[in-house]
Amino acid sequence: MNDGITMTTRRDVLTGLGSALLATWAIAPRAEAAQQATAQTTPPTLKVTGDVRTPLTLSPDELKAMPRAKVEVKDEDGRLVSYEGVLVGEILKRAGAALGGELRGNTVATYVVASASDGYQVVFSLAELDPAFTGSQIIVADMIDGKPLFAYQGPLRIVAPNDTRPARSIRMLERLDVVRVKK
Amino acid sequence: MRVCLAALVGFALASFNIDRVPAQSIHAWTLPAGFPAPDVPADNPITEAKADLGRHLFYDTRLSGNGTQSCATCHEQSRAFTDGRARSVGSTGQLHTRGSMSLVNVVYAQGLTWANPSLTRLEVQALIPMYGDHPVELGLNRSDRWIDVIAKDATYERLFAAAFGTAPHPFTRDRVVQAIATFERTIVSARSPYDHYHFERDDAAISDAAKRGEVLFHSRPLACFTCHGGVHFSGSMGSARRPAPVVLHNTGLYNLPGLLSYPSSDAGLYDVTHESADVGKFKAPTLRNIAVTAPYMHDGSVATLEEAIDHYAAGGRTITTGPYQGVGHDNPNKSPAINGFSLTREQRADLVAFLNSLTDEAVLRDPRFENPWTRQSRP
């Protein structure tokens, strides 16, 4: 419900040029409005909790200071749109999640619940968020085409550029909860 | 000289994709950045001359059997090309089962009318109001004698020649519907205050209340965008690069006992498929200009925007008396997206403010869509 209708995916000519399968982003309100509308209930932070060594509460400025990454997806008219932010794997690494060499054995059975301020939730396996494991390009974005996210997308959203459907590119992201299935 | 001209024409044709939208039509629409290019049938490309002819036909009462109505009778520009009635009335006085739909951005529509996914071309759809019997709308005689009448009008001689050249018999039914469809495709609403806010990033274009309402619209538990999504705030809209499936919805407007949970006079998609699962399924129309297109729903049974919000907040309409008594919330075909929600008075006002920001005064007054006959002799 969070994303399903406003974004659609499709294969197109760019896949033939070597681009990954790209999501399509349609209309979305401005981030400033989202912040105004939800300011009383949603602090503009990203919490990282659960089975991590160092639970985090990241401010927008702290995200800006982390290693930045860009991904390109397609908008409704087929134009490339650039999202900028931080690899989710980078954020999880800072929180001390079991990534890289630690992601083995029972630890592979770990997943991450991403939650939005409107209650929408999606799940990724930890492995698919680890660039060392899957080459993940999944980011927490705070910018679109060099500007703050469109409103209800923000202030933060996940962009999963290789998903063939956009429903996991969760808007209004506020929490990542790491859950290990087998202790 | 002839060679040079041919080279120029060749260059002009090569400079845009003739299978899509001719460059002049894109220019005429002045779509804002980020607005998708519409798809246009390759066999009826848009030209200004054809749109001008279509506009004259659209506003011409000679396109009704008794000379009392034109397309514009039920599609008034000032009402975003609706008629302000709950249910439209045809040229012979017959009360229809449905209200007229807005024509704005119909060039993007993947399925036409309230509940017929198989109707995808405006050229075909136009024949229904022109010649249809159930109900009678314009009530034209199928002998097409009316075409012989307008063919004698000097204005049409000029317009048909400009649109289609000087073939021996330029006045045909096919060309009439091609021209009307072309005119309709040029009616694009993209200059509302919301568009200035969103596409031009003009923060002063809409109120803070509208901005808050926009977020409500796009968030749970309302999630209005689920059915009224994309740049048209509508279901089943596509573009040149992205066709979309036609998806229709039962919103729990009625829940009658018996086999048909909707009034038998109009059961929506069921009337096309005769599948019980399709009873009560209709299109989610565009919310652009929604403030000027009351009353609402396919049968105009919801009078105001506030009443429409009440309907969705309740997760379906309850009718306590009369022949349509029933609890729409419990309709077996109701869309899973219609779950109900609660709003504070302020949130409700914010949502209405957002919907009001979708009113595009420019399209409602655009002289390109006005009645062209007012300054001429006919009609």
Q: What is the nearest CA distance from A7 to chain B, expressed in angstroms?
A: 8
Residue A165, pLDDT above cutoff 90: no
Q: Do A8 and B227 touch (CB under 8 A)?
A: no
Q: Which of A22, A77, A81, A144 to mutate to test the interface with B (most CBs of B within 10 A)?
A: A77
Are A132 and A99 within 8 A, CB to CB? Answer: yes
Q: Can you say how many angstroms the Cα of residue B85 is from the centroid of all Cα atoms in its chain?
A: 15
Segment B274-316, tens digit of pLDDT:
999 999 999 999 999 999 999 999 999 999 999 999 999 999 9
Nearest CA in chain B to A154: B215
Q: Which residue has the higher pLDDT, A86 or A164?
A: A86
Q: What is the pLDDT of residue A22?
A: 31
Q: What is the pLDDT of residue B14?
A: 31
Residues 6+ apart with CB under 8 A from B262: B253, B254, B256, B268, B270, B279, B280
User: Which residues numbered 201-260 in B keep a CB inside 8 Å of some CB on A?
Assistant: 201, 203, 208, 211-212, 214-221, 223, 225-227, 229-231, 233, 239-242, 244
- For domain A7-180, the CATH architecture is Alpha-Beta Complex (3.90)
Residue A52, pLDDT above cutoff 90: yes
Residues A29-61 as b or e (16 or more Cβ within 10 Å = b): bbbbbbbebbeeebebbbbbbbbbeeebebebe
Task: Tally the residues of chain A.
Answer: 183
Nearest CA in chain B to A120: B220
Q: What is the nearest CA distance from A171 to chain B, expressed in angstroms?
A: 9
Q: What is the pLDDT of residue A9?
A: 30
Q: What is the pLDDT of residue A44?
A: 77
Cα B106 to Cα B38, B100, B315, B330: the distances in Å are 10, 13, 28, 32
Set of chain B residues whose Cβ sits within 8 Å of the Cβ of A32: 203, 211
User: Which residues numbered 41-80 in A keep a CB inside 8 Å of some CB on B?
Assistant: 75-79
pLDDT range class, residue A75, cuts 50, 70, 90: low
Residues 6+ apart with CB under 8 A from B3: none
CATH number of B15-188: 1.10.760.10
pLDDT range class, residue A43, cuts 50, 70, 90: low
**Alpha carbon distance B255, B43 (integer Å):** 44
Nearest CA in chain A to B225: A5
Packing angle of the helix pair B345-356, B305-313 (nearest 10 deg)? 130
Which residue type occupies B367? P
Give the HSE-up count for residue B242: Cα atoms under 13 Å, Cβ half-sphere: 25
Q: What is the pLDDT of residue B30?
A: 66
Q: What is the pLDDT of residue A121?
A: 97
Give the SS3 label for residue B47.
coil
Are B195 and B29 within 8 A, CB to CB? Answer: no
Q: What is the pLDDT of residue A76?
A: 54
Q: What is the nearest CA distance from A77 to chain B, expressed in angstroms?
A: 5
Q: Across the A/B interface, how many CB contacts are shorter than 8 Å? A: 95
Beta strands, E only, chain A: 7-10, 22-25, 46-50, 56-58, 69-75, 80-87, 110-116, 121-125, 139-144, 147-148, 157-159, 173-180
Give the HSE-up count for residue A166: Cα atoms under 13 Å, Cβ half-sphere: 24
Q: What is the pLDDT of residue A79?
A: 65
Nearest CA in chain B to A121: B220
Set of chain A residues whose Cβ sits within 8 Å of the Cβ of B219: 117-118, 152, 172
Q: Is A122 on the interface with B (CB under 8 A)?
A: no
Give the SS3 label for residue A153.
helix
Q: What is the pLDDT of residue A173?
A: 96
pLDDT range class, residue A24, cuts 50, 70, 90: very low
Q: Do B215 and A24 touch (CB under 8 A)?
A: no
Set of chain B residues whose Cβ sits within 8 Å of the Cβ of A79: 34
Q: What is the nearest CA distance from B175 to chain A, expressed in angstroms?
A: 30
User: Which residues numbered 18-77 in B keep a CB inside 8 Å of some CB on A?
Assistant: 34-37
Residue A142, pLDDT above cutoff 90: yes
Q: Token pair for residue B124?
A: 């075909």
Q: What is the nearest CA distance from B31 to chain A, expressed in angstroms?
A: 12
Name the CA radius of gyration of chain A, rounded: 16
Residue A132, pLDDT above cutoff 90: yes
Centre a 10 Å sphere on the Cβ of residue B257 and count the other Cβ atoms it contains.
Answer: 8
The dihedral through the CA atoms of B332, B224, B290, B112 has a sign that is negative
Segment B182-205, tens digit of pLDDT:
999 999 999 999 999 988 889 899
Surface-to-core class of residue B121, CB atoms within 10 Å of its CB (0-12 exposed, 13-18 middle, 19+ buried): middle
Under-50 pLDDT residues of chain B: 1-24, 26-27
